[in-house]
Amino acid sequence: MKSRTYRNCLVKFLTLGFLIMFTNRLSSQSMIQVWADEFDGMIDNSIWSFEKGFTNDNIHYYTDRIENAKIVNGKLQIIALKETYMGANYTSALLKTNHTLNFKYGRIEARIKLPGTPGFVPAFWMLPEDNLFGWWPISGEIDIMEHPTNQINKIYGTVHTQAYNSFTGSGPRGSNITIPDAETEFHVYAIEWTEEQIDFYVDEQKYYTFSNDLSGSATWPFNQPFYVILNLAVGGGWVGEPTNSTIFPAVMEIDYVRVYQTINDISISGPDFVFYDNQGVSYSTADITGASYLWSVPSDAQIVSGQNTNQIQIDWGIIGGNLSVDVNTNDESINIEYSVEVSPNLINNSSFEKGVKYWEKAGSLPAEADFILSTNDIHTGQHSLYVDVKTPGNNTWDAQLSHKNLKLQSGKQYHVSFWAKAILANSSINAAIINSGSSWK
């Protein structure tokens, strides 16, 4: 009798375990596709932008040329070339959805075939749209797939945070999986991301879980929107330089990128800072088959096209506020709001109320400086920025904070002001406007 009771309990336990596992997979399967790029036609420049120049410790120069990125037979090709270009011996490309599409939670996946020659790191990854907590690695990074090609079969999935990164000695958190034909066949690389954890997959095989320990943004900055990046890096400390056996061109092929979310996680994408009387500004939300859409805008704005679709264009006046959309499917409905600031200020996020979004920091040796987002000494907004110069440089611009791509027009007058102070005596703060050719203006 006792043995039978044990067996009954065991059967019930196993049945419960099966139901729990089935329910978890069912919840991910019930997500709806909210965006995809199948790479039919040309690269969509309304979605993807290109990084340009040198990056990190790599030895390439990123370009936006068709020689380095193009669509061939329904697949995006990112191409690394051995050539002399802008002072570099190699070129490649990095594409990103920064400022156009970003996602908080969901399943983010891409079907990719990787180059099979030494000296490269192809990657599919994500960075935070707003950098709410500060610059990298403080606001986090999600590496969905990285493949150092000198490790022929290894695929890495990794997260970087303020607590877990290469600079603190703790190292990033992640794992790797062996995929014997990653360089000859396409595979689906994905994460499934919730407020509790991030699961890493190759095809349908989960090989790593990073969990939210509920201790705050130092370990879990993943409660903010992130954007998608695809790139093929040449060289660097992880793989070393290409060798005599390296084959050029090296090609990373992407069949598609797709994003799935629950309806409660979908959001609005589009500019959150616009200038007075900005015309024809585009905003979009998830394109859900069979759904209906009803948009609302502040009283001083006007929808000029797209009402009752997932994408609209707005003519703004001089008053910002929340735009919203009601999304209704056969099963569910949701109202989504998105705050937009309308201002005569050409500098977006001027008082750091959205973290360090739109801002860049730089330091040139021998200068050393920490750039810290702070809640002290606030003039307006939610934050101030504290720059701790540990070692002065040789030039006044060796430790600098910049805001690029200001829309200045020849022949017009502009008023420039900023609110700042230097704590130490004999310190100086310099402000300058520099044109795209790096000459003073």
* CATH number for 39: 2.60.120.200
Residue 9 lies in a domain: no
User: Strand locations in 148-307, DSSP E?
Assistant: 154-160, 173-178, 187-193, 197-202, 205-211, 226-234, 250-261, 273-275, 281-284, 292-296, 302-305
Is 110's pLDDT higher than 80?
Answer: yes
On average, the pLDDT of the chain sits at 90
In a domain, 304, yes or no: yes
Given a cut of 70, whether residue 365 has pLDDT beyond it is: yes
Catalytic residue among 141, 183, 332, 353: 141
Count up the domains in the chain and report the number: 3
Query: How high is the pLDDT of residue 276?
Result: 94
- Return the pLDDT at 416: 87
Note the maximum CA span of the chain: 95
- 219 and 208, same domain (yes or no): yes
Establish if 172 belongs to a structural domain. yes
Specify whether 387 is located in the same domain as 363: yes
Q: Are residues 203 and 106 in the same domain?
A: yes
- Average of per-residue pLDDT across 248-275: 96
Residue 7 is assigned to a structural domain of this protein = no
- To the nearest whole percent, how much of the chain has pLDDT over 90? 71
In a domain, 11, yes or no: no
Q: Do 77 and 186 sit in the same domain of this protein?
A: yes
Q: 């409905």: which residue's tokens?
A: 333
Range among 9-23, 25-39, 110-124 rated most confident = 110-124
Using CB atoms within 10 Å of the CB of residue 353, give its burial: 0 to 12 exposed, 13 to 18 middle, 19+ buried.
middle
User: Which residue, of 313, 343, 373, is where some domain finishes?
Assistant: 343
Between 365 and 347, name the one with better pLDDT. 347
Which residue in this structure is represented by tokens 């009752």?
308
For residue 436, the model assigns a pLDDT of 60
Q: Which tokens is 94 given?
A: 């990095």
303 and 173 in one domain? no
Among 285, 310, 343, residue at a domain's last position: 343
Alpha-carbon span 241 to 248, nearest angstrom? 13
E-strand ranges in 203-348 read 205-211, 226-234, 250-261, 273-275, 281-284, 292-296, 302-305, 311-315, 321-328, 333-343
Question: Are residue 103 and residue 249 in the same domain, yes or no?
Answer: yes
Q: Given its phi and psi angles, is residue 309 left (phi above 0), alpha (psi -120 to 50 degrees) or beta?
A: beta
More reliable by pLDDT, 7 or 401:
401
Rounded Cα distance, 441 and 437, in Å: 10
141 annotated active-site: yes
Asked if 33 and 165 sit in the same domain, the reply is: yes
Position 8 in a domain: no
238 and 103 assigned to the same domain: yes
Give yes or no for residue 7 having a pLDDT over 90.
Answer: no
Instruction: Identify whether residues 57 and 188 lie together within a single domain.
Output: yes
Say whether both 328 and 366 belong to one domain.
no
Q: Are residues 80 and 203 in the same domain?
A: yes
Residues 6 or more apart whose CB falls under 8 angstroms from that of 2 comprise none
* Within-domain flag for 270: yes
List strands edge to edge, sheet with 94-96: 49-50, 94-96, 226-234, 120-128, 141-146, 154-160, 173-178
What is the value of pTM for the model shown? 0.89
Q: Answer whether residue 159 shows pLDDT above 90.
A: yes
Torsion of Cα atoms, 287 then 97 then 369 then 380, to 10° = -40
Residue 221 near residue 128, CB atoms below 8 Å: yes
Average pLDDT over residues 383-392: 88
pLDDT at residue number 390: 87
- Does 123 have pLDDT greater than 50? yes
Same structural domain for residues 427 and 367?
Answer: yes
Domain, as residue range, for 291: 266-343
Residue 146 known to be catalytic: yes
Residue 193 CA to residue 236 CA, distance in Å, equals: 29
The predicted structure's pLDDT at residue 406: 86
**Residue 149 CA from chain centroid, whole number:** 23
Residue 360 has pLDDT above 60, yes or no: yes
pLDDT at 56 over 60: yes
Domain membership of residue 384 (yes or no) is yes
Whichever domain contains 288, its CATH number is: 2.60.40.10
The pLDDT value given to residue 330:
87
Q: Please identify, among 327, 343, 359, the residue that sits at the C-terminal boundary of a domain.
A: 343
